[in-house]
Structure 1
Amino acid sequence: MEHEADVVEELTADHLAARQLFETLRGLDPGDGRRREAADEFTIELVRHSVAEEQFLYPALREHVSGGDALADRGVADHERIEQLLKELEEADPAEARFEELIGVLAAELTAHIEDTERNLLPALVDACSAERLDELGDLVRTAKALAPTRPHPGAPDWKLLAAGTSLVDRARDFLAGRGRPS
């Protein structure tokens, strides 16, 4: 049987994928018609990842890690800022200067969040949890990402309660708009 990634492997792979998607977006010229599609793909993946972290990583930190509340609170605050920026990016015209400005701010926020998660949060969780628990969390994160919303919802309350309904609405909107599908 093939080993599924534990929570650390899963989230670290997501971080790498987010960086790659973001670099693709940053590499497109303002007049390139693929910019909106690249921004949408980046947003979809980042929102799914963020919801999974909020549903399972942060509660696990609170439960298992001494000082985990502060670590989780910092991660949630990062997500709130990033989600607001993603919402603004979703509404911005890819050919306008505001789009470029948002990409720059997102780059800084995302880099800081990923570095904090990989240097502080994930190692603290590894130190506090068994390999079995890390594997369970990896499974939960994968399931959460598959069911998560695909659009930013800054200020949304507890994702455990709202993810399924919000996801359904987002995916219907995506289908109707042709968002998130290769052209």
Structure 2
Amino acid sequence: MTATKQRDVVDLLVDQHNQIKTLFGQLGRAQGAEKRELFESLVRLLAVHESAEEIVVHPSARKKIDRGQQVVDQRLQEEDQAKRELAELYDMGVDHPNFDARMAKFADAVMQHASHEENEEFPSLRRSMSEAQLARMAGAVRAAEATAPTRPHPHSGESASANLLAGPPLAVFDRVRDAVRDWRESHADRD
């Protein structure tokens, strides 16, 4: 690999999978406010990551790789289930007595999903697309992440068109909600 080679979409997504795995580990050991902050970071990363995959990666995989339709449909089913579970965990909150057990089960499912992507979808993308195409996809993923919702919205759909249509308004709503929450937390000590 040369020093001038750009990072491609596979590198970017695998790095995010590693960040997600790290957050799961940290979350499993955390308590109180730290646990809440780590969970909010995990929710945001998962929501943004999956939205970007649904907008950019899966449509390309569907067209370019062998058995693309089947592989992508399986990943979308996993992502739909994950969105629903993450929304329930979010509503439940980190202080709920069942949170840790459900989070552990959720973490296993998410890491299994990441493994499927890394072992089935991503190698096929690398074989079927040029380095330049994969590098451009990394840029498209970053752009999609900038306008993606920061919370799971299980009823918004898993298709690229659903994410493109619903994503930006949901992202604005989520980011306003995040800002209000952050303001409340930063001003709680002043009351």
Query: Quick check: TM above 0.5?
Result: yes
Classify the secondary structure of the residue corresponding to 1:19: helix
Matched, 1:166 2:173: no
Aligned residue in 1 for 2:12: 10
Alignment partners' CA distance in 2, 1:165 and 1:135: 28
Give the unaligned 5+ runs of structure 1: none
Indicate the RMSD between aligned Cα atoms, in angstroms.
2.0
Structure 1 segments of 4+ aligned residues over 3 angstroms from their partners: 1-4
Correspondence list, 1:25-174, <5 A: 25-29=27-31, 32-157=32-157, 158-174=162-178
Alignment partners' CA distance in 2, 1:165 and 1:34: 29
Give the unaligned 5+ runs of structure 2: none
- Tell me how far 1:102 sits from its aligned partner: 1.8
The size of the alignment, in residue pairs, is 180
Q: Provide TM-score, normalisation by structure 1.
A: 0.91
- Tell me how far 1:60 sits from its aligned partner: 0.4
Q: Provide TM-score, normalisation by structure 2.
A: 0.88
Alignment partners' CA distance in 1, 2:11 and 2:62: 20
Alignment partners' CA distance in 2, 1:182 and 1:160: 33
Alignment partners' CA distance in 1, 2:36 and 2:95: 9
Per the alignment, do residues 2 and 91 of structure 1 end up closer, same or farther by CA in structure 2, a change over 3 Å counting? Answer: farther
- Tell me how far 1:23 sits from its aligned partner: 1.0
Alignment partners' CA distance in 2, 1:68 and 1:115: 17
Alignment partners' CA distance in 2, 1:139 and 1:93: 34
Per the alignment, do residues 126 and 11 of structure 1 end up closer, same or farther by CA in structure 2, a change over 3 Å counting? Answer: same
Which residue identity is paired with 1:94?
V
Per the alignment, do residues 164 and 2 of structure 1 end up closer, same or farther by CA in structure 2, a change over 3 Å counting? Answer: farther
Classify the secondary structure of the residue corresponding to 2:149: coil
